Amino acid sequence: MLSMLVHTFQNRGVFTMTKLMPASVFVSTVRFKTLYDMHLRAGPPARRPQPKSPISGHPQMRGVVLKVLIKKPKKPNSANRKCVLVRLTNGKETVAWIPGEGHNLQEHSQVLVEGGRKPDLIGVKIRVIRGKLDCAPDSPYTVPNLLSICRIAASPVLVHLIINGHFSYTLSLFTVAATTDILDGYIARRFPTQRSTFGSIIDPLADKILVASMFLSLTYCQMIPALLTIVVIARDVCLITTGLYLRLSTMRSFDQSLGSVFHFSTQTVKITPTILSKINTFMQFALVTATLIKPIGNYDLQTTLNILSWITGFTTVTSGIQYAFSKTAFQMQQFQKEKTNAT
C-alpha cells in the first residue's frame, strides 16, 4: 500500500513520511484577504486568565458601593435579598448580591465582587465578597477635600477684607472660592477614587460657612438686608442640626458609641441636594457677587440687588420646606437590623 501511494504521487513530488512536522512549516506567508479568513485559519485569540478570588475561586474584581437596595426574587417562597449597586474598577456599574444575613454595607465602601449568575434574582449577576477582604476606609486626603478646606480657610480672610473695605480683593478671592466649589464636585464625579465619606460632609459644610461669612459681613456693612441673612443662616442651621440628629439616632440604633458620630469613615445619613437647593446656592453667590461689584465701579445696581434679594429669599424658604417634606432628601445608608423569629 505504501509503495502504491509513493508511485501515485511520485510525479507530483509528494512523499509520505511518518515524522511529524510543525504547523509553521505549512503556514503560507501570503496575507489573508479578510479578517474573517484570518479568524478561520488562525482561530480565536487566546484569552488572558482573570484573577480569582481566594474564597471560592471565581473571577473577582474590586468595586465601590454606590447604593443599597432590596431585590425581590422570582420565586414567591424566597425572602427579599439585599443587593447593592457597585461601580467596578473598569467604570461599569452592576448590581451585586450580598450573601448571608446581617451585613452592613455603607455607601462608598470598597468591596470585591465575584462572577456567577443568580437565577432567582432579576438583574443580579455578581456577588459581593465581605469579611477579611474588605478594604480600609476611604482616605480623606483627596483633592476635593483639600479644595473644601481651602474654601473654609478663605472665609475669615473674606470677612476681614469686607470689613476693611477692600471689595476688589474680596471679589477676586470670592470668585476663586466659588470656582473651587464647582471644581471639587466635578473631580469627585469624574474620578471615583477622589470620593470619600469625609468629602460628602465637608463639601456642603464649607459652602454654608462661606455663605454665612459673606452674608454676615455684608450685613454688618449694611449692604444686604438683615432679614435675608437671618433666613439664610436659619435654614443652614436647621439642615446641619437635622443631619446631626439623624446621624446620632442612627448610631444609637446600632449600639454605636457617641464618639463614632464624628468618625467620618462611615456614612449613615446622606443629604441629597435638590435642584431647587442648587438654584438657591447659585442665587446666593450671584447676590454676593452683585453686592461686591456695586461699590467697585459705582454702578447703580439697587434694582438688580432688590430683585436678587427677593429671589434668594424665596428659593431659601422653598428649598428649606422641600427638605422638610421630602422623603429622599435625607437617606439612611445603613440597613435596619433583621428581626429573628423566636419560633
226-280 pLDDT per residue, tens: 999 999 999 988 888 887 777 676 655 444 555 555 555 555 556 667 788 889 9
CA dist 222 to 215, 229, 291, Å? 10, 11, 11
Fold classification of 143-332 is: Four Helix Bundle (Hemerythrin (Met), subunit A) (1.20.120)
What are the start-end ranges of the E strands in 266-322? 269-271
Q: pLDDT digits over 35-91, tens only?
A: 666 656 665 556 666 555 555 556 677 777 787 777 666 665 555 667 788 877 777
* Torsional sign, CA 290, 294, 299, 305: positive
- Residue 103, pLDDT > 50, answer yes
User: Looking at residues 191-212, what average pLDDT do you find?
Assistant: 82
Fold classification of 60-129 is: OB fold (Dihydrolipoamide Acetyltransferase, E2P) (2.40.50)
Buried (b) or exposed (e) across 201-224, using 16+ Cβ within 10 A? Answer: bbbbbbbbbbbbbbbbbbbeeebb
- The CATH 1.20.120 portion of the chain extends over 143-332
End-to-end CA distance of the chain: 84
C-beta neighbour count of 197 within 10 angstroms: 22
- Residue 158, pLDDT > 90, answer yes
- Residue 203, pLDDT > 80, answer yes
- The CATH 2.40.50.140 portion of the chain extends over 60-129
What's CA 191's distance to the chain center, in Å? 9
**Rg of the chain in Å (alpha carbons):** 32
pLDDT at 169: 92
CA distance 155 to 75: 57
DSSP 149-173: HHHHHHHHHHHHHHHTT-HHHHHHH
CA dist 300 to 215, 303, 309, Å? 21, 8, 16
